[in-house]
Amino acid sequence: MTSSTASNTSTVSAAPAPAAVTAGGPLAGRVAVVTGATSGIGAATARRLALGGASVALLGRREDRLRELAGELRPAGAGEVLPVAADLADPGAIAAAAASVRAALGRVDLVVANAGVMLGAPFETADTAEWDRMLDVNLRGLLHTGRVFADDLLAAARSGPADLVHVGSVAGHSLYPDWSVYSATKAAVAHLTRNLRAELGPRDVRVHNVEPGVTVTELGADMRDADMRTALDRMRTDLRPLSADDIAQAIAFSVAAPAHVNIADLVVVPVQQG
């Protein structure tokens, strides 16, 4: 029940090079954009793609975190790494970021729309500003991210793999009381993915929805409802949760498949979550 988000933590934790990804493999030479790359699933995915040989644009709000991650990845990866600070809730900022990415890295053939926020509360007491924030980032931000790179992906698909990856959540098709609006945004992502797959798939763009279960990230740390923060912490300690790199590995696996193969929907949950 997660996607990646931003918080006020000041460091990016380094991870060892993923053994399952090699710089001479199917990711080599690809040009990727990862949103929400400041932490969690976004940072882990950017790390996997870069170490696999892709050039990677890191998009997120916290420029210091992006620069720190870029500094870690540049000496280790085979491609270029470009940090681009942008508010993923602002369509204008997304468009400006896309222009910066193209100017520096060229045409994009892989987009991981990962940025998101998860804010829970009972429906009748929820702060509606938190609803708006989830809609702005989880849905509108994801829509504008896909739209601004759609022409790149369609052009790339004429000669090789082209991928649009949405990071959804099992909450999009499961019942989580007090997480109703978050779950609704992820249900929308799931159905959007299916429809875009029908629309773009015939033109050889692969559209994926990767749905994590309980995963330890910064997600939810900035919830205003203290009881919900406690409940989320309990959810992550009552079973052996996933790590951000577990989800990054699933994403890298999906986009490394042969160009004619689409791993369309991938649900990744802890064994104990069922």
Which of the 8 DSSP states describes residue 17? P
Range of the domain at 229: 31-273
Residue 253's Cβ-count burial label (10 Å; 0-12, 13-18, 19+) is middle
- Within a domain: residue 143? yes
Q: pLDDT class for 22, splitting at 50, 70, 90? A: low
- Within a domain: residue 225? yes
- Within a domain: residue 68? yes
Structure pTM? Answer: 0.90
Kindly report the CATH number assigned to the domain that includes residue 150: 3.40.50.720
Q: pLDDT class for 2, splitting at 50, 70, 90? A: low
- Rounded CA separation 70/177 (Å): 38
- Rounded CA separation 105/253 (Å): 23
- Within a domain: residue 142? yes
Report CA torsion sign: 155, 195, 45, 81. positive
Question: What pLDDT score was predicted for residue 257?
Answer: 98
- Within a domain: residue 18? no
Largest Cα–Cα separation, the chain: 53
pLDDT of 3 > 50? The answer is no
Evaluate whether 161 touches 155 at the Cβ level (below 8 Å): no
- How many CB atoms neighbour CB 15 within 10 A? 16
For the stretch 134-171, pLDDT in tens is 999 999 999 999 999 999 999 999 999 999 999 999 99
178: left (phi over 0), alpha (psi -120 to 50) or beta: left
- Within a domain: residue 38? yes
Residue 16's Cβ-count burial label (10 Å; 0-12, 13-18, 19+) is exposed
Number of domains in the chain: 1
Q: What is the total residue count of the chain? A: 274
- Within a domain: residue 79? yes
- Rounded CA separation 187/171 (Å): 7
Which residues are the active-site residues? 182
- Within a domain: residue 1? no
Question: What pLDDT score was predicted for residue 17?
Answer: 46
pLDDT of 24 > 70? The answer is no
Question: What pLDDT score was predicted for residue 1?
Answer: 67
